[in-house]
Structure 1
Amino acid sequence: MSFPKSGRTWVRVMLDRLRIPLHYTHDGSDHKYATHFDALQCCGLESKGQPLVFLHRDPRDTAVSGFFQKSLRIENGYEGDLAQFIRDPHHGLEKILVFNLAWIDHCTSSANSNRTLSYEALRANTVDGLTALMTTYLPSRPVSRRRIRREVEHASFDRMQQQEKQGVFARRYDKALTPGDPDNQDSFKVRRGKIGGFTDYFSEQDLDFADQLLQRYNYSDRLAAAHLAALI
């Protein structure tokens, strides 16, 4: 479970190569639906006794990546600029905050096996994070750290981007993992994956807007409180 452009493609490619069959969903938050954040109906999915992991990423990085996804990869793309996108209640920062907090609160407060997973923490320690995911979903099928380390190396962003450009992923994922324009890096599904990369795109006004919104939702404190129950 994740909001679009939270790093799920990277995680999915590794898990697919490890032959972990999972169901992936954005729970109605997809940019193609353009649902207003007030109309989101989160946390109603039934996990049917299976572990549910919610992947979340810095909303500012998520928003930038979402802008390029909606503008360059989706039919009837976004007509405005980034400043308009991050303020748009159908796509932008507030929608990401509302969605992420709803699922984080759900996963950490309910008496079930649901867990949360931070993209930033997974990037910092991918081998341990992937091992934890394997243990969560298939506790009876141990995989050696050597095998997991090999898959992590295989899924480096440079390598994945090159494979996307060469059409390697198209055989399995069709258009979901092919560039909108091979000559435009921002149109790639595997675009940058950079932590804190939003600072390369946000204006001073955008940074102030994001800071005020994060403070209004008390996002950092609520995220820190959830960390105690996080997968990694």
Structure 2
Amino acid sequence: MFDFARDVWASLPEARARVGRVALVWLASPLPEARRRSFERRQRGREQVAMLRRADAAVVSYGKAGRTWLRVMLSGYYQRRCGLPEQSLLGFANYHRRDPRVPRIFFTHDNYIKDYTGHLDSKRDFYGTKVVLLVRSPQDTAVSQYFQWKHRMRRAKRTLNDYPTDDATSLFDFVMNPGCGLAKIVDFMNLWAAEHARVAKFLLVRYEDMRRDPESELLRIVGFLDGSADAACVSHAVAFASVDNMRAMEERRSFWLAGRRMAPGDRANPDSFKVRRAVVGGYRDHFDAEQIARIDELVSAKLSPLYGYGAGGVVGPATGFERRTP
């Protein structure tokens, strides 16, 4: 009971900020839809800018690029390292309030900050922040986005982020839709590729590398965040965040304070779980040969080569991204 009370207390400041934002958005409900959408995006950006400015580090990723897996690994690491309870998921500062050795980590999909600051064509808002950029092949990301949209995303969130509201949209049409599919993901990654050198403290992490060697990648990430990493705690964290254990925790709603973030949309539907397949190159299972060729052609033609993603989703070495620390 004492740990439960401390977990709730540690999460209150961010919860209060969310409640304030929700109240403002509710007051704006009489506005026309376009203005209401713009207002809410700006309010979300305002809330996130406040966290970014207080953060010791930011983990930036496009949606469905592996952020939840990384968050659970980091949760397991700091739980073991600092003796924190397992039922709470690492948030912005909830662990830090329990133990100041844990950095304040701002997890963001980089959706709304630009709506508040107006920095649409740069990453100026992140220049002074320690940034971990987590990426995944656009093909796999787009397919995972589809299942998130289809089975987990509420209508209001679809409207807010300009996603299709018609459930009848096919997987291929979703992936090829420039407003929500491959083109949008590629644009996100290309802007970060162009801007990353301006970020003073920067680390690139690829989902595929985490799948290949999770312990080495987590050692690298924690070393970047903290300056050093405990190898035994890293091994524990990797086991804690295994696919099977994460699915079991999601089924049990172990991280209940995280709300819908770590809960299935429908327990009877495997595609509605946050942890779905967790495979590399799995997008090919959903399309015919002609569709795969069109998807791969778009990525090959448009995506910056710095990431090492080529035709067919083949992963080569990332080039041009150097780890930069203070």
> What range is the shorter-chain TM-score in?
0.7 to 0.9
Quick one: which amino acid aligns to residue 135 of structure 1?
G
1:137 & 1:163 partners in 2: Cα distance? 26
Q: Take 2:293 and 2:77, find their aligned partners in 1: how far apart are those partners?
A: 42
Equivalent residue, structure 2, for 1:208: 293
Count how many residue pairs are aligned between Structure 1 and Structure 2.
217
2:134 to 31, 40, 55: 55
Counterpart residue number, 2:248: 162
CA contact (8 A) 1:2 1:56 kept: yes
SS of equivalent residue, structure 1 residue 193: coil
Structure 2: tracts of 5 or more residues without a match: 1-59, 79-101, 156-164, 309-316
Q: Which residue of 1 aligns with 2:175?
A: 86
CA distance in 2, matches of 1:41, 1:123: 32
TM-score w.r.t. the length of structure 1 is: 0.85
Which residue number in structure 2 is paired with residue 74 of structure 1? 153
**Matched residue type, 1:149:** S
Deviation sequence 1:2-25 (CA, Å, 0-9, x none)? 110000000011112333431011
Distance 1:155 1:45 in 2: 33
Deviations 1:70-119 (CA, angstroms, capped at 9, x unpaired) = 01001126520101100111110111111112112322x32621221111
The higher relative CO (CA closer than 8 Å, separation ≥ 6) is in 1
CA, structure 1 residues 111+87, in 2 after alignment: closer, same or farther (shift >3 Å)? Answer: closer
- Counting helix residues as a fraction of each chain, which structure ranks higher? 2
**Structure 1: which 4+ aligned runs deviate by more than 6 Å?**
none
- The 8 Å contact of residues 104 and 226 in structure 1, kept in 2 or not, is answered as no
Partners of 1:93 and 1:218 lie apart in 2 by 10
Q: CA deviation at 1:226?
A: 4.5
Aligned residues: CA RMSD: 2.2
Q: What percentage of residue pairs aligned between the two structures are identical? A: 29
The alpha-carbon deviation at position 49 of structure 1 amounts to: 3.6
Q: Which runs of 5+ in 1 are unaligned?
A: 30-34
Q: CA deviation at 1:166?
A: 1.3
Question: What letter matches 2:285 in structure 1?
Answer: D
Q: Aligned match of 2:205 in 104, 114, 117?
A: 117
Structure 2 distance, partners of 1:42, 1:177, is: 32
Secondary structure of residue in 1 paired with 2:239: helix
- Check the 8 A contact 1:55/1:117 in 2, yes or no: yes
Q: 1:178 to 1:45 in 2, by over 3 A?
A: farther
Amino acid at match of 2:215: V
Range with bigger deviation, 47-56 or 201-210: 47-56
For 1:14, which of 73, 96, 102 is the aligned residue? 73
TM-score by length of 2: 0.62
